[in-house]
């Protein structure tokens, strides 16, 4: 692990969240909007959203169609527009307009799941968490810190055991940025990577192709069997 830490500390010495925000609720809304969407695109829409509706009260009173129009360039914008309104309403009615600082309270807010709660707690309150998004999951599996079959919760648990608690937030951001700009899903920058000797990318790819081949062979065999039965 120390080799990984040393390399990432050199490559990404000042990791931080790339979502733009000016206050606690702006971060919460931005994190919810970022699901299945790039941070860059989220920053584009939140700039417009928070300029037009600069307070929680404004967002709460906003017409849902107006919010949809502003965020329509991001994935699942219809559902997320509802979440934006519900977040504003919940914060105003239950938390005096302040984003809560526990998993239980955060995950009770519409649109806020476990990963989103982790991000908010770490970024906003510096509470040690290890949120696992697609980049963290990919990097963890390629570096052998988690197995290919692990789901995000299993990956999170393994990372929390292997990474010192005082590095959770830092390493979380480093893994995100490393996965976003270097260890990308497609065409990763492997040639100059000092972690390539421990990388399992090709092994994971071979396993995937092996599964794909076996699955298709089974599917073809089943199709032929059904065809013969029908002909009979």
Show pLDDT as tens, one digit a residue, over the chain (232 residues): 999 999 999 999 999 999 999 999 999 999 999 999 999 999 999 999 999 999 999 999 999 999 999 999 999 999 999 999 999 999 999 999 999 999 999 999 999 999 999 999 999 999 999 999 999 999 999 999 999 999 999 999 999 999 999 999 999 999 999 999 999 999 999 999 999 999 987 765 555 445 455 556 666 666 666 555 555 5
- pTM of the entire predicted model: 0.85
Catalytic residues: 115, 133
Residues 122 and 105 placed together within one structural domain of the fold: yes
Residues 73 and 160 placed together within one structural domain of the fold: yes
d(CA 210, CA 101): 44
Total structural domains within the chain: 2
Residues 171 and 211 placed together within one structural domain of the fold: no
Would you say the C-alpha torsion 26, 126, 135, 212 has a positive or negative sign?
Answer: negative
d(CA 230, CA 232): 5
Boundaries of domain holding 35: 1-199
Residues 6 and 39 placed together within one structural domain of the fold: yes
């Amino acid at each position: 692990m120390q080799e990984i830490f040393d390399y990432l500390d050199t490559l990404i010495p000042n990791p931080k969240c790339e979502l733009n925000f000016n206050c606690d609720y702006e971060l919460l809304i931005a994190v919810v909007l970022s699901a299945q969407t790039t941070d860059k695109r989220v920053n584009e829409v939140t700039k417009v959203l928070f300029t037009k509706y600069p307070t929680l009260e404004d967002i709460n009173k906003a017409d849902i169609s107006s919010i949809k129009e502003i965020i329509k360039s991001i994935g699942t914008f219809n559902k997320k527009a509802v979440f934006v309104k519900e977040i504003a309403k919940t914060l105003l009615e239950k938390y005096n307009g302040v984003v809560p600082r526990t998993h239980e309270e955060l995950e009770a807010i519409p649109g806020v799941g476990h990963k989103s709660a982790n991000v908010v707690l770490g970024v906003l309150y510096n509470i040690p968490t290890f949120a696992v998004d697609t980049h963290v999951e990919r990097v963890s599996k390629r570096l052998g810190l988690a197995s290919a079959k692990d789901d995000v919760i299993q990956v999170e648990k393994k990372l929390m055991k292997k990474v010192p608690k005082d590095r959770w937030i830092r390493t979380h951001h480093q893994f995100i940025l490393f996965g976003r700009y270097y260890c990308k899903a497609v065409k990763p920058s492997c040639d100059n990577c000092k972690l390539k000797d421990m990388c399992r990318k090709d092994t994971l790819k071979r396993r995937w192709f092996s599964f794909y081949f076996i699955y298709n062979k089974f599917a073809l065999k089943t199709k032929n069997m059904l065809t013969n039965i029908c002909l009979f």
